[in-house]
Structure 1
Amino acid sequence: MGASLLRLFFHDCFVNGCDGSLLLDDTSSFKGEKSAAPNLNSARGFNVIDAIKDKVEEVCPGVVSCADILAIASRDSVALLDGPNWNVKLGRRDSKTASQTAANNGIPPPSSSLSSLISRFQSNGLSAKDMVALSGKEPAQEQVVKATTTSLPWIFRALRNLITNTTRISLPREVSYILINNSLMVDQTDSIVRSFSNNPGYFRSDFATAMIKMGDISPLTGSQGEIRKNCRKPN
């Protein structure tokens, strides 16, 4: 479940920012993100967020947003499974709406090329190093991230397996170039992967930094949005 909560946070933040929009059920006025292609029949953990929200509302009603709960749950699930830890910034507010179209367009598909993935992450303020850190599990022996020469379908599988040890994902070290648009370019992630593989401490530190940066993607603050009483529906 820890990896699933982390994936929820990633999918929420990459669609109009970290605003808890992914948690909303469909309404008569909008079709939400849960039924978008990247989430349909694969995103899970919503009941965990609901349970946390219920407990929080009992203690301090109308104070902690669903977006912040998702951010904290992601951090705590990683830490409880002996992964990296980091300080979570708080103060996000919740979106009042969601968009299936935005989710279909905002989350990079597994068929994305390396250059496309790097561009998508950079558009959200995340570097190539951040992308590799967020897409890999903690290095052990030679495993970190799996790359192919024309696409990187590993990204969602890697996120799903970030904490669990059920799947080892390895990068062939000889893959140092990538064919994109019929031109050969230097693979921008090769040195990053090598660094993480050889220095697990670097991965843990850079993963934590990347998670903080991801949590900074276009949050709603101040008078924007609302503090939802129920994470599944607007107030």
Structure 2
Amino acid sequence: MAPSLCFRTFILQFMLLVFSILNTSLHASEPPLTLEYYASACPNLFEIVKKEMECAVLSDPRNAALIVRLHFHDCFVQGCDGSVLLDDTITLTGEKKASPNIHSLKGFRIIDRIKNNLESECPGIVSCADILTIAARDAVILVGGPYWDVPLGRKDSITASPELAEANLPTANEGLATIISKFLYQGLSVTDMVALSGAHTIGMARCENVRARIYGGDFEATSGSNPLSQSYLSSLKSTCPPVRGVGDNNITAMDYVTPDLFDNSFYHLLLKGEGLLSSDQEMYSSLLGIQTKQLVKQYAADPVAFFQQFSDSMVKLGNITNQDSFATGEVRKSCRFVNT
């Protein structure tokens, strides 16, 4: 017999309580970040990052989503320490080839260009972790999203962890309770999770990650309980064939209404049952999503509330720190390699 809704709700609430308690010890201290960290040492920092991001987004609006995703994937592994930017070497295995990253992360050359410009302007001063955090903010602004102040002073890690990338990063077909637990582990609330997921309004997804949502059946999809409209489904099937390994790298917008504009239409799609990722649609359609459903409704109805919470949640995301990096970290000369 299937467990009752009350029982499932109790289990979810219990899990959230446990992770909240664990999280208190993992993220108890505030990071030593300040708004004026580079005011004297590199006063042109923000202008340099902004100029390069303007060029990148003007050439391809999709670059905005690529940089935001890089920032997210960095912060969920060892904190926001630039570890996601490291290439593999003989002595270090980076995070780029971990399964959640290997096909989904791009935009590294944009960060390289920003770093090169800053090394010419103020060598050895600005960390790659800080560059990525500022670039993510500017990326959102350049496609119509909100502004927020970015606290700075992060150090670059001299390590990476593909193992934590595998364990910590949310994936497209995970259930709501699992996704929530991964956010709570990082010190981010359910509200933060729903707001940060709104970045998918400018994101693209690979067919490999949405095939379960489209076809169901052997693909173990949740699409049976959260069916897509026939017109949307037909469009997706024309892009993503049903056979594994065929067209896996084809991409489709997670917000097909305004894919290059940062707005709240992502939440309107969830209300219609047309969230592209199963994990996104679960926020509205899951029987366990009592709080998440209300937040989806709120952000769909009130874009100002969404922008404000997204800004606040991005600051929290950027404040996830690797305490070890402050003791042993550095300012890399190249974002791809630790200093020798």
TM interval, shorter chain, is: 0.7 to 0.9
Q: Deviations over 1:47-83 (max 9, x none)?
A: 0000000000111111100000000000011111221
Aligned to 2:331: 227
- Label 1:163 to 1:134 Cα distance change in 2 as closer, same or farther (>3 A): farther
The structure that is helix-richer by fraction is 2
Q: Tell me the distance in 1 between the aligned counterparts of 2:318 and 2:124.
A: 21
Tell me whether 87-96 or 218-227 shows the greater mean CA deviation.
218-227
What is the RMSD of the two structures over their aligned residues, measured on CA atoms?
Answer: 2.9
Q: Tell me the distance in 1 between the aligned counterparts of 2:262 and 2:155.
A: 35
Tell me whether 162-171 or 189-198 shows the greater mean CA deviation.
162-171
Equivalent pairs: percent with the same residue?
A: 44
- For the 8 Å contact 1:126–1:213, the answer to whether it is kept is yes
- For the 8 Å contact 2:100–2:171, the answer to whether it is kept is yes
- For the 8 Å contact 2:143–2:261, the answer to whether it is kept is no
Determine helix, strand or coil for the equivalent of 2:270. coil
Q: Tell me the distance in 1 between the aligned counterparts of 2:272 and 2:290.
A: 11
- For the 8 Å contact 2:82–2:128, the answer to whether it is kept is yes
How far did residue 109 of structure 1 move? Answer: 1.5
Q: Tell me the distance in 2 between the aligned counterparts of 1:163 and 1:88.
A: 25
How far did residue 188 of structure 1 move? Answer: 2.3
Q: Structure 2 unaligned runs (5+)?
A: 1-62, 202-212, 214-221, 227-252, 274-281
Aligned to 1:164: 260
Aligned to 2:66: 4
Determine helix, strand or coil for the equivalent of 2:156. coil
Q: Which amino acid aligns with 2:316?
A: K
Aligned to 1:198: 301
1:93 counterpart = 2:201: no
- For the 8 Å contact 1:137–1:163, the answer to whether it is kept is no
Q: Deviations over 1:160-187 (max 9, x none)?
A: x9972499641236986635xxxxx453
Return the TM-score normalized by structure 1: 0.83
How far did residue 101 of structure 1 move? Answer: 1.4
Greater relative CO, 1 or 2 (CA 8 Å, sep 6+) = 1
Question: After the TM superposition, which residues 61-72 of structure 1 pair with which residues of structure 2 at under 5 Å, given as runs?
Answer: 61-72=123-134
Question: Who wins on radius of gyration, i.e. which is larger?
Answer: 2
Aligned to 1:111: 173
Equivalent position to 2:286, from 175, 178, 194? 178
Aligned to 2:314: 211
- Label 1:14 to 1:60 Cα distance change in 2 as closer, same or farther (>3 A): same
- Label 1:148 to 1:90 Cα distance change in 2 as closer, same or farther (>3 A): farther
How far did residue 39 of structure 1 move? Answer: 1.0
- Label 1:13 to 1:112 Cα distance change in 2 as closer, same or farther (>3 A): same
How far did residue 30 of structure 1 move? Answer: 2.4
- For the 8 Å contact 1:66–1:94, the answer to whether it is kept is yes
- Label 1:106 to 1:186 Cα distance change in 2 as closer, same or farther (>3 A): closer
Determine helix, strand or coil for the equivalent of 1:126. coil
- Label 1:9 to 1:173 Cα distance change in 2 as closer, same or farther (>3 A): same
Tell me whether 86-95 or 99-108 shows the greater mean CA deviation.
99-108
- Label 1:35 to 1:186 Cα distance change in 2 as closer, same or farther (>3 A): closer
Equivalent position to 1:52, from 97, 114, 133? 114
Tell me whether 72-81 or 46-55 shows the greater mean CA deviation.
72-81
- For the 8 Å contact 1:136–1:162, the answer to whether it is kept is no
- Label 1:17 to 1:158 Cα distance change in 2 as closer, same or farther (>3 A): farther
Q: Tell me the distance in 1 between the aligned counterparts of 2:259 and 2:313.
A: 16
- Label 1:162 to 1:112 Cα distance change in 2 as closer, same or farther (>3 A): farther
Aligned positions, number: 218
Tell me whether 109-118 or 164-173 shows the greater mean CA deviation.
164-173
Q: Deviations over 1:128-185 (max 9, x none)?
A: 111111111598xxxxxx997879xxxxx759x9972499641236986635xxxxx4
- For the 8 Å contact 2:200–2:254, the answer to whether it is kept is no
Tell me whether 211-220 or 70-79 shows the greater mean CA deviation.
211-220
- Label 1:115 to 1:230 Cα distance change in 2 as closer, same or farther (>3 A): same
Q: Structure 1 unaligned runs (5+)?
A: 140-145, 152-156, 180-184
- For the 8 Å contact 1:81–1:163, the answer to whether it is kept is no
